[in-house]
Chains A and B, each alone.
Chain A
Amino acid sequence: MSSESLRRLAWHPVTIAGCLAALSLPSYRTPWLAWVVLGATAGFATSGSV
């Protein structure tokens, strides 16, 4: 896989959304992370169409 393809994969919106969702998994043991994920998922959700 070329570096160009890797870069596009890394910044793909599904990848970003998936990473945010995955970050919520360990948040039950780290409350501050839960608050960050709460804000980040809400912030990223505003990228959608209007």
Chain B
Amino acid sequence: MLSSPVWRDGGAKYPFCGGLVLGALATAMGLLLVGSLVRLAFPVAIWRWVLGLIVAVLILREMGLVRFWLPQNRRLVPEHVNRHGKVFGPLQFGFEMGTSLRTYTPSALPHAAAITLTLLAGPLAAVAVGFGFGLGRSAMTLGNLHFSHDNSWDLVWLDHEKLIRAALIAGFGLAFAAILLSL
């Protein structure tokens, strides 16, 4: 599980979660910038079809119906960020995890969200996705800390993984459909 002893230190959870949100916002802004260039290649109508196809395939992967490799940086943030103190250490740790560029990604949904942002989002939508992504990651941290003191949240997650993934796929799918319909 993507849990860490760094944010288990009582007061560290707030700067860690703040870092998660800031990191996600940074990635969202980067993808927005890339998207503003990529979108010039074809008309919006074409991108919508391409996006729909890609997201459908990624959701099939998330459902376990197909298997293929997805890009991810299979490294954990080193714990020496602790050297930066009780606020800036967790903040940096959270920021690097929040960007999703220096961590494992055990799901296809972040890729689907990233490509949706790249191809469809405006500046405010990009902020909304980044903020939401940081909150979603923070929910893992806060859930783990408030559920118990022995990391049993991770085991409960594994025990209910199918149900949790089904709920997340449903939520993601409905939100994605709402975005497509609102264009």
Q: Are B133 and A47 in contact (CB under 8 A)?
A: no
Cβ B1 vs Cβ A42 within 8 A: no
- Name the residue of chain B whose CB is nearest to the CB of A8: B147
The residue that A38 contacts in the complex, of B103, B132, B167, with Cβ under 8 A, is B132
Please, how many angstroms separate the alpha-carbon atoms of A36 and B104 in the complex?
A: 22
Does A18 contact B167, Cβ atoms closer than 8 Å? yes
Give A50 to B106 CA distance when docked, in angstroms. 5
Residue of A nearest to B182 (CB): A31
Give the B interface residue count (CB, 8 A): 61
Q: Spot the interface stretch: B8-16, B83-91, B170-178.
A: B170-178
Distance from A12 Cβ to chain B, minimum over Cβ atoms (Å): 7
Residues of chain A within 8 A (CB-CB) of B30 are none
Answer yes or no: B128 CB below 8 A from chain A CBs: yes
A46 pairs with B174, CB closer than 8 A: no
In chain B, residues 130-153, which have Cβ atoms closer than 8 Å to a Cβ of chain A? 130-140, 142-143, 146-148, 153
B139 and A43 form a contact (CB under 8 A): yes
| A interface residues (Cβ-Cβ under 8 A, vs B) | 7-8, 10-14, 16-18, 20-25, 27-28, 31-32, 34-50
- What are 26 of the A-B contact pairs (CB < 8 Å)? A12-B147, A13-B160, A14-B164, A27-B175, A32-B124, A34-B178, A36-B129, A36-B135, A37-B171, A37-B175, A38-B113, A38-B116, A38-B179, A39-B130, A41-B175, A42-B109, A43-B132, A43-B134, A43-B137, A46-B106, A46-B109, A46-B137, A48-B157, A49-B1, A49-B157, A50-B104
